[in-house]
Chain A
Amino acid sequence: MIATLIDYGAGNVTSVARALRRLGAEVRTTNQPEEITTATCLILPGVGHCAALLNSLDAHGLRGPLLTAISRGTPFLGICLGLQALYQSSAEAPELSGFGLLHGHVDQLPQKVKLPHMGWNQLRPLRDCRLLDGISSDAYFYFAHSYAAPAGGLATAATCEHGREFTAVLETAQIFGVQFHPEKSGAPGAKLLDNFLRLAA
């Protein structure tokens, strides 16, 4: 199994690659359009500012090939900003368009709680989903973000709450996303990545 990791310059590419290799996957990190087109599965890690992700994808000409691959059915996993990029837009960079594959807008979490939402939190599963298969419903995952996707929508498989409820896990036929960092979430995070690799195989 070769997992293609989109390297737009995010700080967590190395950690995600390391976590996938521990699971026995062969990892290819790339910022080349043709490697995205021919990938068997795609992972977009992200951390930091939303504008950095979207601008970098566009500067490298990766957005088109990525959307084409997803529309052809290539399994895709977005991590943190990689999940947020799937929506129409983000209040963190309102001048830029998201991928628009999911309906809705990413907004800042309410300032009545401490931001960033930093640390380990639990999920509220809304339905059965393949990403969380075999993972205890009270498992903790590591979050580090201030913006989040809305909780509603058919793609949302599990939510989390910090100031408000937001989408923590999303899953359609071949589009997957997690707001937390599975590469930093101990054994449950490793299990989730393994689930993705298996269903993408």
Chain B
Amino acid sequence: MSLAHRIIPCLDTDGSRVVKGVHFEGLREAGDPVELAARYNAEGADELVVLDIAAARDNRPTFLETIRRVAEQLNIPLSAGGGIRSLDDARSVVRAGADKVTLNTAAVEHPELIGELSREFGAQAVVLAIDAKREVEHWQVRIKGGRVAANWNALEWAQRGVELGAGEILLTSVDRDGTQSGFDLALTAAISRAVSVPVIASGGAKLPQHFLEVFTAGAADAALAASIFHDQMQSIRELKSYLQSNGVEVRLPC
């Protein structure tokens, strides 16, 4: 008996439709968020993440409606984020049905926002999303959808974020994202060992072996993927059976 490693499908949306891209660019449509949410809920996903990657201000009502409709489908936890810049933004996302709020660019620009959310909703509801890109001797934090380098070493930013009140880190490798060449194990292990909170690994998943590696060598607590689940290249149920047969504790739905 111990805590199961989580498998988390991610729905990147433009507000209302699921989209996908490589290296944060070249978006194309990949389905209806409500249908996908219902499917993942039934297939044994441990949690669902919904992000508004367009995050345009005039688009907010549409995204909130998407969160409401997705939450209706779920009896598992839901994280939502993308474009959350204030406590009020976070409140509206929670009221729409999200259990956790994901912060990225706004947390780098206004680190005090992490603490404000943590005090209001509890640390377990604040997910710090970090997009990290490998440099020569460290990983650099990227913001604004991966386009802009921030003045933070990813490892130090993760530690600072936890001090400020984040209860979880969603760690995306900008180098691996969309490449399907496997998670960045060195990055994931470095961050996971440096912080006291759970780490969700993201970016590069394709094969069941990639998940096995990130839970063992990568020391991840959870792993996130998008297109391999959307395209039905990988069933969540089969992935979990594979992990269990390789000694990784997972929740096999009854």
Contact = CB atoms under 8 A, between A and B. Distances in A.
A binds B: yes
Nearest to B68: A14
Given A116-B197, A118-B198, A161-B2, A187 B254 contact: yes
Contacts of B94: 11
A60 interface: no
A145 B1 contact: no
Contact of B124 (A118, A136, A139, A188): A118
B124 A161 contact: no
B146 interface: no
B167 A118 contact: yes
B1 A161 contact: yes
B198 A119 contact: yes
B46 A116 contact: no
A18 B72 contact: yes
Interface string A180-195: 0101111111100000
B39 interface: no
> Interface extent on B, as a size class?
35 or more
B144 to A, nearest CB: 28
* Chain A contact patch, size range: 35 or more
Nearest to A13: B95
A49 B71 CA distance: 23
Nearest to A49: B122
A11 B125 contact: yes
Contacts of B72: 18
Contact of B254 (A47, A183, A184, A188): A188
B198 A114 contact: yes
A121 B2 contact: yes
Quick one: which of A19, A118, A144 has the most chain B CB within 10 A? A118
A140 B196 CA distance: 23
A185 B196 CA distance: 24
Nearest to B72: A18
A120 B198 contact: no
Given A114-B197, A118-B168, A47 B2 contact: no
B222 A48 contact: no
B27 interface: no
Interface string B69-97: 00110111100000000000000001101
A12 B1 contact: no
A48 B1 contact: no
Contacts of B47: 119
A145 B253 CA distance: 22
Contact of B221 (A12, A47, A119, A139): A119
Nearest to B46: A120
Contacts of B122: 47-49
A120 B4 contact: yes
A19 B75 CA distance: 8
A115 B221 CA distance: 11
Contacts of A183: 75
Given A11-B99, A120-B3, A47 B76 contact: no
A189 B222 CA distance: 21
Contacts of B125: 11, 47-48, 144
A49 B125 CA distance: 11
B3 A121 contact: yes
B229 interface: no
Contacts of B75: 19, 183-187, 189-190
